[in-house]
């Protein structure tokens, strides 16, 4: 796995640690999955492709994620108690020491905004958002992997953005509107209704 993926994990855990001191490892993976889907859209190019698969017992999994977590635990950035991750002082010091005008600091600002948005939703909502996603349901039923570039959530994001181009929503503000759109889409889809 790349240093960029490791840094993204560190930035996510650091950002989450500003809100709460512990995070469930499965919740972190869900956040990362949504981040990569929206990042691909917002940056208009794929900087890092992640491969996602489903596990019948544990849900969404990202290839290489467990190995990166093990590496971060071994290098004392994180502590782990079964499925709970806690940032150690080394990670907090690393996050606080980022140069304010460096690329990592820019990425941190982006991730902090993303984390603030996601943590404003109940974890069960984010969980259902992923598990009701048609690409994931199909992959689970057929035991195949899901690529970020061909996921149903990516397609819905593009459809949603195309439908609002006439409005005055900035591209970076699209995320919060899109998450609300997706949640409404999934709830209406369950009831057999369409989203206007």
Read off the pLDDT of residues 76-91 as tens digits, 9 standing for 90 and up: 999 999 999 999 999 9
Q: Which helix (H) or strand (E) holds 3?
A: helix 3-17
Q: What is the mean pLDDT of the chain?
A: 75
**What is the separation of C-alpha 47 from the centre of its chain, rounded to a whole number of angstroms?**
15
The answer to whether 23 and 84 are in contact (CB under 8 A) is: yes
| Domain ranges across the chain | 3-191
Q: What is the mean pLDDT of residues 33-57?
A: 64
> Greater confidence, 6 or 30?
6
Q: What are the residues whose beta carbons fall under 8 Å from the beta carbon of 8, sequence distance 6 or more?
A: 32, 35, 48, 107, 111
DSSP letter assigned to residue 85 = E
pTM of this prediction exceeds 0.85:
no
Per-residue pLDDT, 84: 96
Q: Does residue 59 surpass a pLDDT of 80?
A: no
> Greater confidence, 151 or 92?
92
User: Which of 26-35, 130-139, 164-173 is least confident?
Assistant: 130-139
Read off the pLDDT of residues 93-149 as tens digits, 9 standing for 90 and up: 999 998 888 778 888 888 887 888 788 777 766 666 655 555 444 545 555 455 555
Q: Does residue 191 surpass a pLDDT of 90?
A: no
């Amino acid at each position: 796995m790349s240093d960029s993926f490791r840094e993204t994990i560190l930035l996510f855990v650091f950002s989450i640690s500003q809100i709460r001191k512990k995070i469930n490892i499965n919740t972190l993976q869900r956040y990362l999955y949504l981040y990569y889907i929206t990042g691909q859209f917002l940056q208009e190019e794929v900087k890092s492709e992640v491969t996602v698969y489903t596990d019948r017992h544990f849900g969404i999994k990202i290839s290489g994620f467990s190995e990166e977590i093990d590496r971060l635990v071994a290098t004392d950035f994180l502590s782990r108690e079964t499925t709970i991750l806690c940032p150690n002082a080394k990670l907090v010091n690393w996050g606080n020491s980022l140069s304010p005008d460096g690329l990592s600091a820019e990425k941190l600002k982006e991730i902090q905004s993303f984390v603030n948005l996601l943590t404003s939703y109940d974890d069960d909502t984010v969980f259902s958002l992923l598990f009701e996603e048609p690409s994931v349901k199909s992959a689970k039923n057929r035991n195949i992997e899901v690529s970020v570039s061909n996921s149903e959530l990516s397609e819905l994001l593009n459809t949603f953005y195309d439908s609002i181009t006439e409005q005055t929503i900035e591209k970076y503000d699209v995320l919060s509107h899109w998450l609300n759109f997706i949640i409404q889409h999934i709830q209406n889809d369950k009831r057999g209704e369409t989203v206007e």
